[in-house]
Structure 1
């Protein structure tokens, strides 16, 4: 096998040029230090704007509290002993709803992506169902399930289930036809094609889909905690709204965002560990 030094000069030049591509060019790469600096600026600049607006009194603190007020509210919330419990119960609800949704959406999505008859039968009704707002189902959930923890998890499942099925099906359908035909030529059955070709080829994309659906699960947390909740970050936000405790509302929103960001980064780390070959640059 030839290496880079074996290539003639005209062939080596484009590869060198590609390696020196500017970060501002399409497909360019940033050094790690620049990447971290820009990522930090993405957080610092909005916070600086918030501090400048709130501290200068351009907006009443009832509507936009200062950052120290929000931090003091979060500190008081933690010292009262309620913050840890609220965070824990909210994480359990989000993860429980996401896991239950994925448990059924993954096989259904693979089924729809692999078999055109199943897709023709189920895709229209699933496509219709994903536009139904989860909050509209709350009265039915309370009637059918009650008001315990399963009802809150059900809201998250309803909000993510149909979306997850269709995205998983799309990931399966994007697998190239060549390896499928090669497997059939060697006598593979439908089950073997799914197990040894479709799923391994689509796993990186499906994992990214699960990551996106986890993010969507966090956005349904406040909706889920509308169902007769007496704990959780969403419940705390709704309770603070009744008393115009804007600083606590901001604290709750930021905590949800932080929990979601940490979850997302965990998914990214797992993706790089599980599919290291997928992240190799050519």
Structure 2
């Protein structure tokens, strides 16, 4: 049995549920109050999979239906809102004639590189800020100030510092994500009950044991959730990064199509980024369910 399991067991023993609390007048009154069963509004009590799939289909079909009605009826000129058919046809043309698959791979590589660097910096910084008051005093003023500065304002400086190569694009994506990783993970560490740490010390743990065998395992599910949420920010900063003298990438294709008022190509590239992001999100959810099955009992 690991140290964190021992800590959890001892924490539960320190806060037992007594028979007196169960036999109090308030509990007696509450046991006769029953909630009416509800499918849609039940709180963490599961949901039928078929109904969930139906709601997902409706949530996707309604915007598509509205888009089709407005565009095919030409309520809005095609230059502003092309039809779904025109968007799909332009996408097929871009894959065949413009080698869009190469742009997709290039953009994915940039996002991956920038996001990995942001994770390697932000995750340890967040754990340190949430664990040690000294590290919070050291990093919090810097992080709290810089995170309000727009990354786009640093683009001219980044070009001067690193030039127009891939390094500047990766740095822009990293700067857009790294501080949010640190802040969210630091908050997750602070939510660890103090009783767990005190029990670990009682069992003879050192500071190193508390950090690596209590705090890090307890924070790991929140780290995965933080990375899953903030990877969307990496894709948002991709277009800004590919403004820096890029000749390839999905963001470059969007900017190029914008210059020639090719709205259907712009929409297709935006939808393509959304699909890639959705696939990444579900992939990280699956990874979180596999690596941390204890973190969310509703997954089962």
Same fold (TM over 0.5): yes
The equivalent residue for 1:227 is 244
What is the DSSP-based 3-state SS (H/G/I as helix, E as strand, rest coil) of the residue aligned with 1:220? Answer: helix
CA distance in 1: counterparts of 2:209 and 2:296, whole angstroms: 27
* C-alpha displacement of 1:18: 7.8
* C-alpha displacement of 1:20: 5.2
1:1-282 matched pairs, under 5 angstroms? 21-281=38-298
* 1:64-106 Cα shifts (integer Å, max 9, x gaps): 1110010010000011151100100000011110001101111
CA distance in 1: counterparts of 2:137 and 2:36, whole angstroms: 45
* C-alpha displacement of 1:215: 1.4
* C-alpha displacement of 1:29: 2.9
- Structure 1 spans left out of the alignment, 5+ residues: 1-9
CA distance in 2: counterparts of 1:72 and 1:168, whole angstroms: 43
* C-alpha displacement of 1:41: 1.3
* 1:164-214 Cα shifts (integer Å, max 9, x gaps): 111111111111111100111123222211100001111111110011111
CA distance in 2: counterparts of 1:111 and 1:19, whole angstroms: 46
CA distance in 1: counterparts of 2:225 and 2:53, whole angstroms: 22
* C-alpha displacement of 1:135: 1.0
What is the DSSP-based 3-state SS (H/G/I as helix, E as strand, rest coil) of the residue aligned with 2:288? Answer: helix
Where does structure 1 differ by over 2 angstroms across 4 or more consecutive aligned residues? 17-29
* C-alpha displacement of 1:133: 1.1
User: Is the contact made by 1:171 and 1:202 (CA closer than 8 Å) also made in structure 2?
Assistant: yes
* C-alpha displacement of 1:152: 0.5
Between the two structures, name the one with larger relative contact order (CA 8 Å, sep ≥ 6). Answer: 2
Say how many residue pairs are matched. Answer: 270
CA distance in 1: counterparts of 2:103 and 2:91, whole angstroms: 12
The equivalent residue for 1:6 is none
- TM-score, length basis structure 1: 0.91
Q: Name the stretch that deviates more: 230-239 or 169-178.
A: 169-178
The equivalent residue for 1:5 is none
* C-alpha displacement of 1:279: 2.5
CA distance in 2: counterparts of 1:131 and 1:61, whole angstroms: 38
Report the CA distance shift for 1:227/1:31 in structure 2 as closer, same or farther (over 3 A): same
User: Is the contact made by 1:22 and 1:28 (CA closer than 8 Å) also made in structure 2?
Assistant: no
After superposition, the CA RMSD in angstroms is: 2.0
- TM-score, length basis structure 2: 0.86
What is the DSSP-based 3-state SS (H/G/I as helix, E as strand, rest coil) of the residue aligned with 1:72? Answer: helix
